[in-house]
Structure 1
Amino acid sequence: MSSTITVPDTLASWPYPRRINPHYETVAPESATWVRGFRAFGPRSQRAFDKCNFGLLASLAFPSLSREHLRVGCDVMNLFFVFDEHTDTLPGDSVRVLADISMDAMLHPDKVRPENEPAVGEITRQFWLNARRCSTPTFQRRFVYEWQLYVDSVVEQARDRDHTRFRTVEEHLALRRFTIGSRPSFAIIELGLDIPQDVFDDPLLVDLRDTITDILALDNDMASYNKEQAAGDDLHNVVTLIMHAQHVDLHAALAHAAALHAERARHVLDDLVPAIHALDVPAAVAADLAFYVDGVLNWPRGNDCWTFESMRYFGIDGPRVQRERVVELYPKRRAVAPCV
């Protein structure tokens, strides 16, 4: 087997350029200081967590949010990854406990959390108190619903690990639409919006959210594969599942994943975007809808830039990998993760 892999440049033709929120340099450090104060990690893991710079992800993903709303976006990205890092090796029953703690804190944010409870409870509670303070009831209702689906999906992912379940590629993407966290992330775009439910549930918008999520999942799985296979944690990665299902090597699996990505990008750009722009919505809703759709379409570019600009997957080598796309394949069980 070759000692290198090539990370496909899946967004070479994606027409949405890199944008970053103008409040990034002030808001991201505030959020990082806030989450660090919970001492959710030991010193070494905290340093690794900080290098991932989840405030950068929020600022690239939400370039048009106000300063106040960007803080909510940064906080939720930090919350996501605290929850992710604390659950990604636990058995399903233990993940269920953490999921229920986070959900209870969101549903009862005025309740004092129990002493010695895992930090995710208080992080969730404080995040949600601030989010409620500066958001619309429409956002609040949707976010709570989406957060429940997210934490439940992480429990299901853990139970897959418990039983070493190999999903089909389509089964994987169906679950990944929840575990990747895109649904509550897209809800953040709505912090100041009030899109009626019937417009939000239009089949074109449902398809847009699902397809953009598939794009994000495919990009994420291709970028994270090297780190995950080295740690033996690649059961929930589409590249591994393609190799298993189709009996192909790594390079063929990456090419197949890139082809799936290209199909979905074409569908978004050629089919969905023109149709959504032609939707007949009330004038009072049109501006909110345009803001929301632009935010969803920006996510692939924002996520891709963060993949290489942070140290999450490639450490200090990210900018070079972004240019050259070639990565050394890590040996199994080597401690390679630049982040937690």
Structure 2
Amino acid sequence: MTNSLELALSECFPLPSKIHIADILSFTGQFFDIKVNPHWKEAEAESYTWLKSYGILTSRLDKSGLGQLGALVYPEADLLHFRPSIDFLIWIFAFDDMFDEGNLRGNIYATKIVIDNAMDVLRNPDTAKPGSKAVAALHDVFDRMRREASEATTDRFIHSAELYMNAVLEQNERRAVGSIPTVQEWIQLRRDVVAVQISFAVLEYSLGLDLPNQVHNHPVMFELELAANDIIAWTNDIYSFPAEYTQGDPQSLVFILMYNERMDLQSAVNHVEQLICGRTRRYVNAKSRLPSFGPKIDPQIARYIRGLEYWIQGSIHWTFASPRYFGANGEKVRSTGIMDIAGPM
């Protein structure tokens, strides 16, 4: 029986062999800086060795340059905090790939077991027993981070992890039956499944910050974090489309717009680019309205916001530097603005 996703893919044929993409990196670069952590190479080698010891580092991840991504999104972390931050970053890619490309894709029962176990080791790190190599690796890196992190940062990490895990389960449930969300359903799901919120908790840890809940609960700070999340997720939705379409599993805002709004591919990409520009301007506007929280907290907030901006700019830059999305053609895609589209396998 043909499911909704297969029907939707058939409706998208034929797609153009190439599309034009805007220079988002230059646009966001008007507002956000880029910086590289000097401890990059040292920490990267140790992190890969660490993850290999758990047997969950695929050859694709090994060649993706995730250490460079860590250096770009956590550029101001000292070595003590940088190494666990990279460990978690590489782990989350490995964990996510288990559901997108690995043996857990579409397997709801196994997904729930792994997710429940992962949340158990986060909530009860001193007593819970990891049931898989992936969860054992999570337990190890979380145990190291929580010993250095503030209680508030640790709580935010666990809460964000729960949102991420629930979103992974929902996405896998939809994938199993070929269910396609509406545009608004996808935007909300993507905010959680992209794992940016949990990465922002790691950002706090990486900088040794102790931001009280009143800061994160403030509507302006909420808007900053939400806008940063959307910019990161939506740019990835554009750049990852060719690879996901080739695999017959397009999990992106581009595809959701094509299906729900009956847009052609180029129009959908153009629309997402416009959304990204709008979110960037909303971020800049919100930043100008952020109030003071006092002389003890304001310097920490300034470092955190700078970290959000490094995350935005660094992640976009890395997309073209890494072979994960465009192989050896990343710089060519960026400079020409031409992205190749291949048919499903």
Q: What TM-score do the two structures reach when normalised by structure 2?
A: 0.90
Aligned to 2:172: 158
Aligned to 1:75: 87
Cα displacement (A) at 1:27: 0.7
Aligned to 1:135: 149
Cα displacement (A) at 1:111: 4.1
Q: Please tell me whether residue 255 in structure 1 is matched to residue 270 in structure 2.
A: yes
Cα displacement (A) at 1:7: 2.8
Moved over 4 A (4+): none
Is the Cα–Cα contact under 8 Å of residues 232 and 332 in structure 1 kept in the other structure? yes
- Superposition map of 1:35-50 within 5 A: 35-40=51-56, 46-50=58-62
Query: For residues 112-145 of structure 1, what are the alpha-carbon distances to aligned partners after superposition, in whole Å with 9 as ceiling and x for unaligned?
Result: 746xx32111111111111122222221111111
Q: Please tell me whether residue 27 in structure 1 is matched to residue 43 in structure 2.
A: yes
Query: For residues 53-110 of structure 1, what are the alpha-carbon distances to aligned partners after superposition, in whole Å with 9 as ceiling and x for unaligned?
Result: 2222111111111111111210111121121111222333321111112112223333
| SS of the residue 1:167 aligns to | coil
Is the Cα–Cα contact under 8 Å of residues 182 and 256 in structure 2 kept in the other structure? yes
State the alpha-carbon separation in 1 of the partners of residues 265 and 328 from structure 2: 24
State the alpha-carbon separation in 1 of the partners of residues 113 and 187 from structure 2: 25
Over aligned residues, Cα RMSD in angstroms? 1.5
Cα displacement (A) at 1:321: 1.5
Is the Cα–Cα contact under 8 Å of residues 31 and 71 in structure 1 kept in the other structure? yes
Aligned to 2:246: 230
Structure 2: 5+ residue stretches without partners: 1-14
Q: Please tell me whether residue 102 in structure 1 is matched to residue 118 in structure 2.
A: yes
Cα displacement (A) at 1:167: 1.5
Aligned to 2:32: 16
State the alpha-carbon separation in 2 of the partners of residues 53 and 107 from structure 1: 31
| SS of the residue 1:103 aligns to | helix
Query: For residues 220-270 of structure 1, what are the alpha-carbon distances to aligned partners after superposition, in whole Å with 9 as ceiling and x for unaligned?
Result: 000000000010111x2111111111212111111111111111111111x
Is the Cα–Cα contact under 8 Å of residues 120 and 128 in structure 2 kept in the other structure? no
Aligned to 1:320: 332
Is the Cα–Cα contact under 8 Å of residues 7 and 223 in structure 1 kept in the other structure? no
Worse overlay, 313-322 or 180-189: 313-322
Aligned to 2:6: none
State the alpha-carbon separation in 2 of the partners of residues 286 and 50 from structure 1: 39
| SS of the residue 2:335 aligns to | helix
Is the Cα–Cα contact under 8 Å of residues 211 and 297 in structure 2 kept in the other structure? yes
Query: For residues 24-57 of structure 1, what are the alpha-carbon distances to aligned partners after superposition, in whole Å with 9 as ceiling and x for unaligned?
Result: 111111111100111125xxxx221101122221
Is the Cα–Cα contact under 8 Å of residues 246 and 344 in structure 2 kept in the other structure? yes
Aligned to 2:194: 180
| SS of the residue 1:52 aligns to | coil
* Residue in structure 2 matching 1:282, options 294, 307, 316: 294
2:308 is matched by which residue type in structure 1? V
Aligned to 1:66: 78
Q: How many residues align?
A: 323
1:23 is matched by which residue type in structure 2? H
Query: For residues 170-203 of structure 1, what are the alpha-carbon distances to aligned partners after superposition, in whole Å with 9 as ceiling and x for unaligned?
Result: 2211111110001110111211111111122100
Cα displacement (A) at 1:329: 1.3
Is the Cα–Cα contact under 8 Å of residues 307 and 313 in structure 1 kept in the other structure? yes
Is the Cα–Cα contact under 8 Å of residues 115 and 165 in structure 2 kept in the other structure? yes
Query: For residues 288-309 of structure 1, what are the alpha-carbon distances to aligned partners after superposition, in whole Å with 9 as ceiling and x for unaligned?
Result: 1111111112211111011111
Aligned to 1:336: none
Percent of aligned positions with the same letter in both sequences? 28
